[in-house]
Amino acid sequence: MRGTVFAICFMLLIGMAAIALAEKVLWKWVDEKGGTHYSEYLAQVPEKYRSKAVQIVINPGVESDDSSANQKAPPPPPSPGPSSDAAKKAEWQGKARNAVVQVVGLEAELKSLDQQCKQLNLNAQNVPTLMNKKSAADCQQKMDALNAKLAAAQKYLDEGIYKEASGAGAPKEWIAEAIQQAKDELESK
């Protein structure tokens, strides 16, 4: 029994370490007033700054004194295509679908992490070692961070994408339609 508990704790610890060492991508951009901003997704960068946004890859397991070591050049700007309403609509529908996929993905990740945290809390109660208590506390911190990330993604889906679309002259109906289609598609899978 004790060996099984130890094995489960060890496997959970390995899994949490893998999550902690995962690469993180941020987008850095500077507004016209010289203010530096960071976003998790290129779609969250205002359209007029996207061409100058810099992608930053954060490797938590890699230490570097050179902050530019993990920076990548931004992707090439989209090739000029037809400026028709159909192309513009397709672009905004893609952005809306990506926002839905992000929220759904974060919800699934949160559900999985919640199960891990419950198991770690149970382990900490059954075998109250310092390591088990720390693992449970670390897991809760990750839950809190993931909840905040989900809240931001949900707010973007509920409000932010509509503001962006409105600023770009895209009708709200395009966004609402694309969001509903993406939700329907994902629910059917």
- pLDDT reported for residue 155: 93
Which residues are paired to 30 by β-bridges? 36
Question: 188 or 67: whose pLDDT is higher?
Answer: 188
Residue ranges per structural domain of the chain: 2-75+85-188
What is the average per-residue pLDDT within 156-164? Answer: 90
In this predicted model, what pLDDT tens digit does every residue of 52-97 receive, in sequence order? 888 776 654 444 444 444 455 555 555 444 457 788 888 888 888 8
Query: Hey, what are 143's tokens?
Result: 């839950």
Model pLDDT, residue 31: 85
Average pLDDT of the chain is 77
Q: Between residues 169 and 26, which one has the greater pLDDT?
A: 169
pTM of the model: 0.54
- Say yes or no to pLDDT of 101 above 70: yes
Helix ranges (DSSP H) in 21-82: none
